[in-house]
Amino acid sequence: MHRSELIQLLLDKKDNSRYLEIGIKRCDNLFRIKSKVKVGVDPAYQICRKYKFKKAFGFEKVELYRKYSDDFFNENPDGILNLGFNVVFIDGLHNFQQSLNDTLNSLKYISHDGFIILHDCNPISEARATPVERSYDEIQVKIENNEIEGWDGGWNGDVWKTIIYLRSIRSDLEIFTIDSDQGLGVIKFGDSQLLPFNKFEEVKVLDYQFLEKDRKNLLNLVSPSEGLARLK
């Protein structure tokens, strides 16, 4: 299951759907999605050539903001956040702190029956789970210095920690991870039992070996078919 497929399935259930995407990069995923309202945020986005025509001639109704996501949520430009959203897709900086910030901020603006989809929650190797503090540039430096053993070009960072942490502090959220497309974390309002990792610093220092030992339980990992069944 691809991220676009899951997002579209959730949006299609709404008559006046509203969609927010954090980390739009070249807008590929954003422009695949069909929604009455679409909002994209990225400090350095580019519009891929094949989509520029749609944007220029109004064939796609979409608002784009060239901002860091923290600034976007703090400033609420044009009052756009006041619309509320049915689905928020988060694919910004792939580290624990930023993915957590984006998720907690997004929770303030989703409808009660809305969803947050968090990408990159299930790294398949220690190399792909390499953490950074501030930016992807740190990965580039590590690559140049041959510091990442087994590097294959794919990077998920430590977004997986956001799943564990939220499952430890928010009993009002139902959270599971679909084992597809590098891990699609699904977050929605609902009751759940808490994991015991409720301190930010405790979760921050967890390593890939910890995840690997108990991945299914920690991420509440489910197959695509089971994930779809839970969403019905």
* Domains delineated in the chain: 3-219 (3.40.50.150)
Tens of pLDDT, residues 45-79: 988 766 666 665 555 678 999 999 999 999 999 99
Supply the pTM of this predicted model. Answer: 0.95
Kindly list the distances between the CA atom of residue 1 and the CA atoms of 20, 94, 112, 157, 228, in Å, as whole numbers in the listed order: 20, 20, 25, 21, 10
172 phi/psi in degrees, rounded to 5: -90, 5
| pLDDT grade for 211, boundaries at 50, 70 and 90 | very high
| pLDDT grade for 33, boundaries at 50, 70 and 90 | very high
Q: Which amino acid would we find at residue 228?
A: L
- 161 Cα distance to chain centroid: 12
CB under 8 Å to 50, separation ≥6 — which residues? Answer: none
Tens of pLDDT, residues 94-146: 999 999 999 999 999 999 999 999 999 999 999 999 999 999 999 999 999 99
Rounded to an integer, what distance in angstroms lies between the CA atom of residue 165 and that of residue 162?
A: 5
pLDDT for res 175: 98
Rounded to an integer, what distance in angstroms lies between the CA atom of residue 91 and that of residue 228?
A: 21
